[in-house]
């Protein structure tokens, strides 16, 4: 008997996952808010042109963002001839909300409040009374509460925490901070319990890359390397608005990168490790040995150099030159379009910046920039962690129906 043809099975058509729609909405809302941040006050038609979204979509997202208190219609001058209805531009509403920022350094903690444009509204610094993480974070929570009490009518959207060392952004944990002696500290959990707010945690070099791409001079740069030189020395790298984290956010931990020509002994047993060579403890010790200052505060060295102390100036230039050699190693590997350096000498003195550029082998002066936040870098670092979350997902990170 002839075989009967068996029709092929009918396979069910899988629906498009809802997550895809959610991601699209998140991305579109983020694009609109970022566009208004950068160009506002701006017409909706211009937002549509710059983002590639349809005019109807832009109108929808502007309405939703206004409903959450993030956007507002900007005042426009009345037309003198009275012909036609003017296009009402939209702008960021920076009067309703703020974010808290916490930066934990080795000798002290900085707490601050920032508006949605990344501007520091209030801040304070408190020296550590020991390095117990519970005590340090409790004092940070108290400082934030006191600052918030002085801002009636402003609603906090969350708290960003920036810390040096190895920080796991996903879990909000400081995995390892050698100088503080912190290991597996659940910062998000501890500070969240103290403040009752959403807490976001990241390494301070990555936090400052986010601050630069949102509010600084490198907006629109295709790739950015940020090098942070303080008591802790670390780095961050971003391409096309995405910061590289690596497994468990371990990227950027460069404390033991060897510095060409380095002579400073490191606790790891080697000589010339980046953090041992460039850290502020080393700068302070060298300044004291040279009779520049009796304090380990690097800003005292900066003040002495600004007052004409040639030895202090030489120490800062030498440190900048060593930083440039380290930056050159990273440049060879990553080849970024823009380099941002946070280091006290580079921030305050042109000859330090020139020494860094020369040592790194960089010929294009515009390729290397000091931080965009010379007077508020630590406050901005903390606040930028929370603001990055907001600008990536404004509909999810803000309240509805304000």
Alpha-helix residue ranges (DSSP H) falling in 124-203: 133-149, 187-195
CB 373 within 8 A of CB 112: no
Look at residue 59 in the predicted model and tell me its pLDDT.
Answer: 96
Each residue's pLDDT, cut to its tens digit, for the chain (402 residues) gives 444 444 444 434 334 445 567 788 889 999 999 999 999 999 999 999 999 999 999 999 999 999 999 999 987 654 545 554 557 899 999 999 999 999 999 999 999 999 999 999 999 999 999 999 999 999 999 999 999 999 999 999 999 999 999 999 999 999 999 999 999 999 999 999 999 999 999 999 999 999 999 999 998 888 999 999 999 999 999 998 899 999 989 998 899 988 778 889 998 999 989 999 999 999 999 999 999 999 889 999 999 999 999 999 999 999 999 999 888 888 888 889 999 999 999 999 999 999 999 998 865 544 889 999 999 999 999 999 999 999 999 999 988 866
Look at residue 79 in the predicted model and tell me its pLDDT.
Answer: 54
Please state, in angstroms and rounded to a whole number, the distance separating the CA atoms of residues 34 and 43.
14
Look at residue 22 in the predicted model and tell me its pLDDT.
Answer: 79
Q: How many CB atoms lie within 10 A of CB 337?
A: 13
User: Which value, to the nearest 10 degrees, does the dihedral of the CA atoms of residues 131, 137, 139, 143 take?
Assistant: 140
Q: Scan for tokens 């040995």, then name that residue.
A: 289
Look at residue 352 in the predicted model and tell me its pLDDT.
Answer: 97
Look at residue 10 in the predicted model and tell me its pLDDT.
Answer: 40
| Residue 230: both structure tokens together | 């303080």
Q: Global pTM?
A: 0.90
CB 210 within 8 A of CB 387: yes
Look at residue 258 in the predicted model and tell me its pLDDT.
Answer: 86
Look at residue 138 in the predicted model and tell me its pLDDT.
Answer: 97
CB 36 within 8 A of CB 90: yes
**SS3 state of residue 248:** helix
| Residue 354: both structure tokens together | 């020139």
Please state, in angstroms and rounded to a whole number, the distance separating the CA atoms of residues 381 and 385.
7
Look at residue 326 in the predicted model and tell me its pLDDT.
Answer: 87
């Amino acid at each position: 008997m002839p075989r009967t043809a068996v029709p092929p099975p009918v396979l069910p058509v899988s629906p498009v996952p809802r997550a895809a729609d959610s991601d699209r909405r998140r991305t579109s809302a983020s694009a609109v808010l970022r566009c208004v941040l950068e160009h506002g006050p701006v017409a909706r038609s211009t937002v549509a042109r710059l983002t590639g979204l349809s005019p109807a979509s832009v109108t929808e997202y502007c309405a939703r963002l206004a409903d959450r208190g993030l956007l507002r219609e900007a005042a426009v001058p009345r037309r003198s001839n009275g012909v036609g209805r003017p296009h009402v531009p939209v702008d960021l509403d920076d009067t309703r909300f703020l974010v808290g920022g916490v930066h934990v350094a080795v000798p002290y903690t900085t707490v601050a409040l920032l508006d949605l444009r990344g501007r520091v509204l209030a801040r304070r610094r408190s020296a550590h009374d020991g390095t117990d993480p519970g005590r340090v974070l409790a004092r940070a929570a108290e400082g934030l509460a006191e600052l918030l009490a002085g801002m009636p009518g402003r609603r906090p959207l969350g708290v960003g925490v920036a810390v040096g060392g190895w920080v796991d952004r996903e879990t909000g944990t400081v995995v390892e901070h050698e100088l503080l002696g912190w290991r597996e500290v659940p910062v998000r959990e501890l500070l969240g319990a103290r403040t009752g707010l959403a807490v976001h945690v990241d390494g301070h070099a990555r936090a400052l890359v986010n601050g630069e791409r949102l509010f600084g001079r490198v907006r629109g740069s295709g790739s950015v390397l940020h090098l942070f030189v303080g008591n802790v020395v670390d780095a961050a790298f971003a391409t096309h608005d995405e910061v590289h984290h690596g497994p468990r956010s371990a990227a950027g931990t460069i404390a033991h990168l060897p510095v060409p020509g380095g002579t400073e002994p490191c606790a790891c047993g080697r000589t010339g490790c980046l953090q041992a060579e460039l850290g502020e403890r080393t700068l302070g010790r060298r300044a004291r040995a040279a009779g520049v200052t009796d304090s380990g505060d690097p800003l005292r060295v900066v003040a002495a150099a600004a007052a004409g102390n040639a030895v202090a100036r030489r120490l800062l230039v030498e440190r900048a030159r060593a930083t440039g050699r380290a930056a050159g190693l990273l440049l060879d590997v990553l080849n970024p379009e823009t380099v941002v350096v946070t280091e006290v000498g580079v921030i305050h003195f042109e000859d330090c910046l020139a020494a860094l550029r020369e040592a790194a082998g960089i010929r294009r002066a515009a390729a290397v920039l000091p931080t965009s936040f010379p007077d508020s870098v630590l406050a901005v670092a903390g606040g930028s962690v929370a603001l990055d979350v907001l600008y990536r997902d404004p509909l999810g990170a803000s309240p509805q129906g304000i």
